[in-house]
Structure formats: C-alpha cells, structure tokens
C-alpha cells in the first residue's frame, strides 16, 4: 500500500502519485476518481498502522534524494526570482520599447496567469500523476521565459504566461511523498529558505544583468536551471510506492472534477476586469463604451461563475463550504489587501530610485533591500515566536499597523529625500509585512480538517495573487493619470508623450534642461499617488485581521498542510 494514512477526526489517505484520496465519516468531499485499492469503508487507522504503512514505502535516499532536493529548490528559486527580478529591469525595458504605459502589464500579466491557474493546479495534482503535472508546469514556465527572452516588442513581454502556482505547490506535494514524516520539516524548511533567498537575490541580479549585460538576462537565467530540473525529474525520478488504482469513470465525469464551466468563465472574467482597469483613464476615458463594456461583461461572467460554484458543490473551483468559514474569507481578504500593497511598492520603488535619484538598475535593487531583508528577518523570527505562544492573530494585527505606518512614510519621499529616510521607512514596511504574510497559512491549517487544507490554502494564495494582478494595474493607471496632470502643472508646454515614451531612466536625456526640475517633481508626485493606493490597500487588510478567529496552533498537526 503506497500511501500515508493519518488518524484525525476524519480519515485521510494521501496518495503518493496523484494527490489525495479523501474520505470522511461526516461528509464526502466530492473528490472521487482515485483509489488506493482499499475498501472505502475501512475504519480510521491507528497511529501505529500509519507508521507501518509509511515503513512499506521505499523513499529515495543518498545521492538521489540530494539531487531531487536540488531540483526542487531550483524550481522554487526560479519562481521566487521571477517575482522580483523584473522590477529593477522595468525602467530599462521602458527605455528600449518606449513603453512607460505598459509598466502595469509587465507585472499584471504574470500575476494574472498565476492567479488564473492557482486553483486549477490543485485539481490537477489531486486527479493526475504528480510527476507529470509538475514537469508540465515547468515546461510551460520555461516556454514563457523563452518568449520574453526573444521579445521584439513590449507586447511580447505580456505573453510571459507561466505556471508558477503549479511549480510551488507541486514541489511541496513531491516533498510530502518522497520524505519520511519525521524528516519532512527539514526539507520543507530548505525549500522555504530558498524562496526567501531568491526574493532577496532578485533585485540585485536584475540590477546587475540590466546594467552590465542586458535586461534579457532576467529571463535567460531561468533556462539552464530549468533544463537541469526537467532532465532529472524526467529520467531519474520516480514517485515512491505503487501507482494508484483509479476508479472507472466516464470521460464526462472525470472532466467535471475540474469544474471546466467555472474555469472557462472565470478566466475571461478576470481578463475583462484587468483590461478595464488598465485602459480606463489612460488609453480610453472611463466613460468610453469599451471600458464600460468590459466592466459589464465582467459583472455578467463573475455572476455566472458564482452561480456555478453553488451548483457544483464540492466539485467547485472554490468550494463554498470552505470559503464561508470566517477564518478562510478573512485570511483571503487579508492577503488580497496587504499583498496588493506589497506588489505596488515592489514595482514602483525601483522606478522612484532610477527616475528621481538617477541611480543605476543595480543600485536601485540595492536600495530596495531594506524592505526585502527586513521582511525575511521578520518572517523567520515571528515563526519561532508563534511556535512558542501558539497564537498568530495578534501578529497579523501588528503586521497591518506597522506596515501601514511604513507605507505611509514611504509616500513622503520626494525629489530631495536621502537614505536617512528611505532606508528606515522601507525597514518599517518590510517588518510589518514579515510579521503577517505567512500567518494566513497557519490559520487555514489550524481551523480546517486536514482533507480541506489544500483547498483552503489554494483559496488564500489565489486571493493574494489576484490582488497583486489587479492593483499593479490600478497603480499604473493612477501613476499615468497623475503624471500627465502634474506635467501640465509643473512643466507647462511640454508634451506629456515625450515623458511617457522616454522611459524612467531616460528623462534627463530626453527632457529639455529648463523643464527637468518640473518633470521630476511631477514624476515624484505621480509616484506618491501610486504609493497612496498601496497605503490604502495595506490599511484595509485590518478587516481580515480583526475578523479572523483567535485559535492556537498548539496540539494541531499541520505538517501535511503544506501540500496545498
């Protein structure tokens, strides 16, 4: 028997190849189609029987386990790197393609595809072989990087369609199936540490590549490690245990497990919303029929999606019995709001340093390290503290308060602000973020039965990604509109298109000397306006903090929660 049975209030069988076979004495989860060959009426196993079952599995060890760990760490490193490496390269990209108006798309396109596939990949890992789903996710990720590497226009960069959601969750599932329970925290810790290191390295690597080589190296760097990971997983890795025995199902029934109707409606709904926010007020007036039409179509499609979720029940993309739990929707809102603020500051702080302070891409990456390093430090430190005290809710509240203060201070940065201001302001903001960003995952694992943890985790991760996708676009809209109005006020007579097409790092070479001071002032005020959006969203995360249940993680087995 190639599975790990865990004795809880519900009976849970974690399948080694295709995700989860879930059975419950209280209610059926709706996840059918995979069986481990055991009669579904078996009684809950004892702790001893779980240990015996685990002993039957031959786990990889030695060199094979070492190479597998390296492959998984490389895949997660690439995903985390992709989140931050492009930010310091954006000003140079806008210079080459004369495309300052497309800044919002560079981040939004990535976030949108991640959000759109986040929940779907949870279904894939449940009902399909984990190894091949993971390999496919990496292949599509590498294909997206190749398109961006060879981009001939700014629009080509927006086709960087990736499956990063499938990569990170897949890595966690593989660890859960290839490492014994007693040693599993070590390897999940290694992968989590890799994510943090990549987040710190991203701005620096992006700056070095942009200044010393080319911004295209930000995409080229993904290809060699990805190739190694693909080769190892394809030819040298086999999931331990026996392959699962799948129940006989018609093609229609198997397809319905993935909620195809909901997915087919949800993706265009989000695209319509993002297009409306991106075009409204910049490319077209808000009252333009195209913008209004997009909002109308979004409203119709999202209403249909919600109706389908009620109809599908446990087969839904977002199971409503899980989402309606207070901790789930409050955690989802918290990450949606504070994640939106984080993405806005991550994208626009490098533009501030390169445009206002005229620093290189390398130095702009270094200049944002106070925020990233303080975030990583706080995340690790608060994890140790929560392990002792058990409660996570107080740290989420502190997170919102501290991050909001830091975000507000960042909006005071101007043309003449020095490092005595932008360093401590970023540190405060980063510390606030670090205190709370990881806590919703603990909350989900604490309040849900183990069979529902993957779905709950997918919901909150989706919310965070969607927030980033939407509000990068909102921030860009606000920035562009305020820049145009600011130029009319501080650099009267200068064609705004000269500034918009020049790019963030080419202001001084494209703007007349007598207009430069006014342009920089307009630029600074426009950036402040984008930062205000980040402040507002960070502050609104307090709704989630105050709504979440005060529960302790002590006595709750949450190890398997990472599989989501």
User: Which structural domain range is residue 276 located in?
Assistant: 260-316
The pLDDT value recorded for residue 396 is 93
Among 203, 246, 150, residue whose Cα is nearest residue 347: 203
Q: How many domains does the chain have?
A: 2
How wide is the angle at C-alpha 495 spanned by C-alphas 489 and 500, nearest 5°?
95
3-state secondary structure of 403: helix
Which of residues 290, 316, 342 is at a domain's end? 316
In the chain, the largest separation of any two C-alpha atoms, in whole Å, equals: 82
Integer CA distances (angstroms), 277 to 264, 290, 335, in order: 21, 11, 20
On whether both 312 and 418 belong to a single domain, the answer is no
pTM of structure: 0.73
CB 518 within 8 A of CB 490: yes
On whether both 426 and 554 belong to a single domain, the answer is yes
CB 309 within 8 A of CB 316: yes
On whether both 251 and 342 belong to a single domain, the answer is yes
Phi-psi region of 313 (alpha: psi -120 to 50; beta: other; left: phi over 0): left
Q: Which of 133-147, 219-233, 272-286, 296-310 has the lowest average pLDDT?
A: 272-286
On whether both 415 and 307 belong to a single domain, the answer is no
Which of residues 292, 316, 340 is at a domain's end? 316
Q: Is residue 294 part of a domain?
A: yes
| More confident of the two residues 414 and 245 | 414
Highest mean pLDDT among 176-190, 374-388, 528-542 belongs to 528-542
| More confident of the two residues 136 and 428 | 428
Using one digit for the tens of pLDDT, what is the confidence trace for 169-197?
777 777 767 776 556 546 665 776 677 67
The pLDDT value recorded for residue 544 is 92
On whether both 125 and 203 belong to a single domain, the answer is yes
CA 469 to chain centre: 9
Q: Is residue 37 part of a domain?
A: no
CB 449 within 8 A of CB 464: no
On whether both 340 and 357 belong to a single domain, the answer is yes
Q: Is residue 4 part of a domain?
A: no
Q: Which of 27-41, 57-71, 370-384 has the lowest average pLDDT?
A: 27-41
On whether both 238 and 284 belong to a single domain, the answer is no
The pLDDT value recorded for residue 426 is 94
On whether both 434 and 533 belong to a single domain, the answer is yes
Q: Is residue 492 part of a domain?
A: no
Task: Tell me the pLDDT of the chain averaged across its residues.
Answer: 75
Q: What percent of the chain has pLDDT over 90?
A: 15
The pLDDT value recorded for residue 16 is 39
Integer CA distances (angstroms), 485 to 99, 281, 491, in order: 19, 12, 10
Using one digit for the tens of pLDDT, what is the confidence trace for 1-45?
333 333 333 333 344 333 343 333 333 344 444 443 333 333 333
Q: Burial-class residue 429 by CB neighbours within 10 Å (0-12, 13-18, 19+).
A: buried
In this prediction, residues 393-397 reach a mean pLDDT of 93
Q: What single-letter DSSP state applies at residue 31?
A: -
Q: Is residue 338 part of a domain?
A: yes
On whether both 347 and 337 belong to a single domain, the answer is yes
Which of residues 249, 284, 316 is at a domain's end? 316
């Amino acid at each position: 028997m190639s599975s790990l049975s865990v004795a809880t209030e519900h009976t849970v069988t974690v399948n080694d190849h295709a995700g989860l076979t879930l059975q419950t004495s209280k209610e059926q989860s709706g996840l059918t189609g995979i069986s481990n060959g055991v009669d579904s009426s078996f009684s809950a196993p004892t702790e001893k029987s779980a240990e015996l079952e685990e002993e039957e599995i031959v786990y990889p060890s030695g060199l094979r386990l070492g190479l597998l760990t390296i492959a998984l760490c490389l895949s997660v490193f690439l995903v985390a790197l992709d989140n931050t490496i492009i930010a310091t390269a954006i000003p140079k990209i806008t210079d080459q393609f004369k495309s300052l108006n497309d800044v919002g798309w560079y981040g939004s396109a990535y976030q949108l595809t991640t959000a759109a596939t986040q929940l779907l990949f949870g279904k894939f890992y449940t009902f399909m072989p984990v190894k091949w789903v993971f390999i496919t996710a990496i292949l599509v990720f590498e294909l997206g990087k190749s398109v961006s590497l060879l981009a001939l226009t700014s629009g080509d960069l927006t086709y960087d369609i990736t499956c990063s959601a499938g990569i990170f969750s897949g890595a966690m599932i593989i660890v859960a199936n290839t490492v014994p329970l007693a040693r599993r925290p070590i390897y999940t810790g290694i992968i989590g540490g890799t994510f943090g290191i990549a987040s710190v390295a991203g701005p620096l690597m992006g700056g070095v590549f942009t200044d010393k080589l080319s911004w295209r190296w930000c995409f080229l760097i993904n290809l060699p490690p990805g190739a190694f990971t693909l080769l190892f997983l394809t030819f040298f890795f086999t999931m331990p245990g026996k392959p699962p025995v799948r129940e006989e199902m018609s093609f229609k029934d198997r397809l319905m497990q993935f909620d195809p109707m909901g997915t087919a409606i949800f993706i265009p709904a989000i695209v319509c919303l993002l297009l409306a926010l991106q075009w409204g007020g910049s490319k077209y007036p808000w009252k333009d029929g195209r913008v209004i039409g997009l909002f109308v179509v979004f409203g119709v499609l999202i209403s249909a999606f919600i109706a389908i979720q009620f109809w599908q029940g446990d087969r839904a993309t977002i199971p409503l019995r899980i989402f309606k739990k207070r901790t789930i929707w409050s955690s989802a809102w918290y990450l949606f709001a504070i994640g939106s603020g984080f993405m806005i500051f991550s994208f626009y702080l490098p533009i501030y340093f390169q445009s206002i302070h005229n620093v290189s891409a390398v130095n702009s990456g270094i200049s944002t390290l106070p925020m990233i390093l303080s975030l990583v430090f706080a995340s690790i430190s608060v994890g140790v503290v929560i392990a002792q005290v058990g409660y996570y809710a107080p740290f989420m509240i502190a997170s919102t308060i501290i991050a909001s203060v830091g975000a507000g201070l960042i909006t005071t940065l101007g043309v003449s602000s020095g490092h005595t201001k932008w360093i401590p302001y970023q540190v405060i903001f980063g510390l606030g973020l670090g205190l709370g960003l990881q806590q919703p995952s603990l909350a989900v694992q604490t309040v849900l039965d183990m069979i529902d943890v993957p779905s709950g985790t997918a919901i909150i991760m989706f919310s965070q990604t969607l927030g980033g996708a939407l509000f990068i676009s909102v921030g860009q809209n606000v920035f562009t509109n305020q820049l145009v109005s600011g130029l009319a006020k501080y650099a009267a007579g200068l064609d705004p298109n000269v500034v918009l097409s020049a790019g963030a790092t080419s202001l001084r070479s494209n703007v007349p000397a007598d207009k430069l001071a006014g342009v920089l002032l307009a630029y600074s005020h426009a950036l402040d306006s984008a930062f205000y959006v980040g402040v507002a969203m960070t502050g609104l995360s307090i709704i989630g903090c105050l709504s979440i249940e005060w529960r302790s993680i002590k006595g709750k087995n949450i190890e398997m929660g990472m599989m989501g």
